[in-house]
Chains A and B, each alone.
Chain A
Amino acid sequence: MAKRDIPEINAGSMADIAFLLLIFFLVTTTMDRDKAYIRDIPKNVEVVIPPAPVPERDILAIKANSANQLMVRDELMENPDDISERILEFYRINSELSGDAMMAAMGDPNHPGNNFPFFSRISKAGIESRIQAAIKAAEEVEEQEGAEETLISFMWNEVSQWEKKKFALNLYGKKMLPEISSQAHIRIEVQDRTDYELFAKIQSEIEEAIFEMRDDSAKEIFGLGYASIIAKLADDASNLEYKAKFDLLKLLYPDRIIEVTPKN
């Protein structure tokens, strides 16, 4: 039997098919990524215990009314681009004060930082003793008859909070861990008719200020931009080294934001 040549397959139309697919993907592609500000909604609680009053100096209230007028700390603001500067001031003005200088500023109503949140500083030894005390308190609660499950987990959570601070201070590499007042927060108060554009702008300014502060610190402590830390974590959320860095920055500049539901 004579050998027959296998006929070649004509691949000339391959390019056409590929082009067709290419054009389909070209048309359906949207290159802009979805970007958003992620926020937490507070959990619904049935019994509302009136919260302890927060000192005026720990609140940065950003208000916008239905006519889209803006007020930051009860001062009218024309240009919403200035909000981030006020946030930076809020976080930074007292950050270097400690000991007697802080006491003096607290008592002196004419001091520029008097109406802004103050910082606490804690050493390694201080954290260590807090951890021991927290463990002791948690164990005591656990041994009580009929102790509530939620209370026990709350007490142990307290312990792990201090453990985290100890870890963060080690990473920080300094003697003291400065922490802004635990009640210091940013409060967004808008009205029913405030445009979403302004609401989003306020969120944007907050994010910009937080980014700037964390970025400056990140460069100082790690010699690394904050953006690259976030990017690394977005790729691989379980990267412990970068997670620790992020946690430290978050501890130094916490983003506590309260969005107040408008009253009708």
Chain B
Amino acid sequence: MSKFSKGGKKPAPGINTSSLPDIVFMLLFFFMVATTSKESDPTVKVTQPMGTRAQDLTAYKQRSEIDFLYLGTPRNTARAEQFKMGYALFLDNVAQPDPGELYNTNAIKRWKLDKFESKPTQMTATIEQVITCIKADEGAPSGIIFDIRKELQDIDALKIAYAVKDNTNAN
């Protein structure tokens, strides 16, 4: 008896939480470094197809040498009939009043040129080198992809990228 109950109840000692902020900060910094924020939230539905051995675009994004455009059916289904074959374009960071506006392919030239005009001063790339990345829905008709190519060719924006979801096994 005497071995276990020594002198009644003692209060449990408080756990020292002073290193908790350090741990949380460490996690915080990890996520801050690993984060690449989304350019914009598209108002078209895009399910990207799968593909292997695609090139990572992170380096181009960091140098802001890439523009994204989304090709899919409008989330607001009532608007679908306004667009060719029901597929609309959503352009990232448009300099127009309504950021959620959807476009046909004929808006691409102005968008590209506007974006190129307002490029960051440290960017040295010419318009030919700025990549235009198409994030298209898997059901999108390829004809529209080629319409986009034609528009880009006309303004000498000669780099195009077809986005996919990469399923390459890491090695």
- Chain A positions 17-36 with a Cβ under 8 Å from a chain B Cβ: 18-19, 21-22, 25-26, 28-36
B37 and A37: CB pair below 8 A? no
A15 and B162: CB pair below 8 A? no
From the candidates B24, B32, B55, name the one contacting A36 in the complex (CB within 8 A): B55
Q: Which residues of chain A are near B149, meaning CB under 8 Å?
A: 41, 259, 261
Q: Is A107 an interface residue (CB 8 A)?
A: no
The count of A-to-B residue pairs whose CB atoms sit within 8 angstroms is 171
Q: Which residues of chain A are near B133, meaning CB under 8 Å?
A: 34, 36
Q: Is B67 an interface residue (CB 8 A)?
A: no
Cα-based distance from A222 to B24 in the complex (angstroms): 44
Given the interface contacts A22-B24, A191-B142, A193-B141, does A204 sit within 8 Å of B53 by beta carbon? yes
Q: Which of B17, B34, B158, B162 has the most CB of A within 10 A?
A: B162
- Measured between C-beta atoms, what is the minimum distance from B15 to chain A in Å? 13
Q: Which residues of chain B are near A200, meaning CB under 8 Å?
A: 49-51, 136, 138, 162, 164
B21 and A22: CB pair below 8 A? no
A26 and B143: CB pair below 8 A? no
Q: Is A73 an interface residue (CB 8 A)?
A: no
Q: Which residues of chain A are near B138, meaning CB under 8 Å?
A: 195-197, 200
B37 and A28: CB pair below 8 A? yes
Q: Which residues of chain B are near A193, meaning CB under 8 Å?
A: 141-143
Q: Which of A15, A191, A192, A197 has the most CB of B within 10 A?
A: A197
Q: Is A4 an interface residue (CB 8 A)?
A: no
- Chain A positions 190-220 with a Cβ under 8 Å from a chain B Cβ: 190-201, 203-204, 207-208, 210-211
From the candidates B34, B162, B165, name the one contacting A203 in the complex (CB within 8 A): B162
Q: Who on chain A is nearest to B58 by CB? A: A33
Count residues of chain A with CB under 8 A from any CB of chain B: 52
- Chain B positions 43-59 with a Cβ under 8 Å from a chain A Cβ: 49-59
Q: Is A51 an interface residue (CB 8 A)?
A: no
Cα-based distance from A237 to B5 in the complex (angstroms): 71
Q: Which residues of chain A are near B61, meaning CB under 8 Å?
A: 34
Q: Is A111 an interface residue (CB 8 A)?
A: no
Q: Is A6 an interface residue (CB 8 A)?
A: no
What is the 8 Å Cβ interface bit string for chain B, positions 115-154, against chain A (1 contact, 0 not)?
0000000000000000101001111111101100110111
Cα-based distance from A101 to B68 in the complex (angstroms): 50
Q: Is B94 an interface residue (CB 8 A)?
A: no
Q: Is A40 an interface residue (CB 8 A)?
A: yes
Q: Is A234 an interface residue (CB 8 A)?
A: yes
- Measured between C-beta atoms, what is the minimum distance from A33 to chain B in Å? 6
Q: Which residues of chain B are near A25, meaning CB under 8 Å?
A: 28, 31-32, 35
Q: Which residues of chain B are near A41, meaning CB under 8 Å?
A: 149, 152-153, 157-160
Q: Is B163 an interface residue (CB 8 A)?
A: yes
What is the 8 Å Cβ interface bit string for chain A, positions 168-194, against chain B (1 contact, 0 not)?
000000000000000000000011111
Q: Is B101 an interface residue (CB 8 A)?
A: no
Q: Who on chain B is nearest to A38 by CB? A: B161
Q: List 21 A-B contacts (CB under 8 A).
A: A28-B37, A29-B31, A35-B164, A37-B51, A37-B162, A38-B131, A38-B160, A38-B161, A41-B152, A41-B153, A44-B153, A44-B154, A64-B142, A190-B142, A192-B143, A195-B142, A199-B145, A200-B49, A203-B162, A203-B164, A207-B51
The list of the 5 closest CB pairs from A to B, nearest first, reads A192-B143, A204-B51, A35-B54, A197-B138, A36-B161
